[in-house]
Amino acid sequence: MVSVNDEAPVLVKAEIEIDADPETVWNIIADIESWPRWNPDVKSARLQGEFRPGTQFLWKAGPAKITSLIQDVDPPHTLAWTGKIMGINAIHVWDIQVVDDKTVVRTEESWDGLMSSAMHDQLEEMLEKSLYSALNNLKTECERV
């Protein structure tokens, strides 16, 4: 099972409580091609095969075109992928759990590589905004369904 690099220069962890069952949350996160519908930060997303570990997906977030590889799929709890862009090695993990009868979604991402070391503060701030924005948009979408 893949996990973020806790030693990476850029590391952000965030969580939110969502008033929906874990399966609903999972179905929305796992439908990669629908990300642009509920997350305005994602401009496009295209799966390059079946939804399973080892499958690549191409997506655009802001100005960046990203190629990612699905690493872990454990419905309805874990989805993880890795990706590279502009010399940054990214690891992203979504974790969905029930805590005290509430669905808690945790997301975390690490970036390492030369650029993430050189621009640590700016990149970490940008990633933090992005993850919290994604969580809030996910919450809105899950509670709307």
Q: Considering the domain boundaries, does residue 110 fall inside one?
A: yes
CB atoms within 10 A of CB 48: 12
Q: Considering the domain boundaries, does residue 2 fall inside one?
A: no
Closest by CA position to 90, among listed 67, 122, 74, 72: 67
Q: Considering the domain boundaries, does residue 53 fall inside one?
A: yes
Distance CA 123, CA 144 (A): 31
Distance CA 5, CA 8 (A): 5
Query: pLDDT tens-digit profile of 31-83?
Result: 999 999 999 999 999 999 999 999 999 999 878 899 999 999 999 999 999 99
Prediction pTM value: 0.94
Q: In this structure, what CATH number is given to the domain that contains residue 62?
A: 3.30.530.20
Q: Considering the domain boundaries, does residue 58 fall inside one?
A: yes
- Are the CB atoms for 24 and 144 separated by under 8 Å? no
Report H helices in the chain: 22-30, 35-38, 114-118, 120-144
Q: Considering the domain boundaries, does residue 3 fall inside one?
A: no
- Predicted local confidence at residue 105, as pLDDT: 98
* Torsions phi, psi for 41 (to 5 deg): -75, -20
Model confidence at 139: pLDDT above 80 = yes
Looking at per-residue confidence, does 64 or 3 come out higher?
3
- Predicted local confidence at residue 132, as pLDDT: 97
Collapsed DSSP state (helix, strand, coil) of residue 86? coil
- Are the CB atoms for 53 and 72 separated by under 8 Å? yes
Contacts of 46 (CB under 8 A, 6+ apart): 33, 57, 58, 59
Domain range for 43? 10-144
The number of distinct structural domains making up the chain is 1
Q: Considering the domain boundaries, does residue 127 fall inside one?
A: yes
Q: Considering the domain boundaries, does residue 1 fall inside one?
A: no
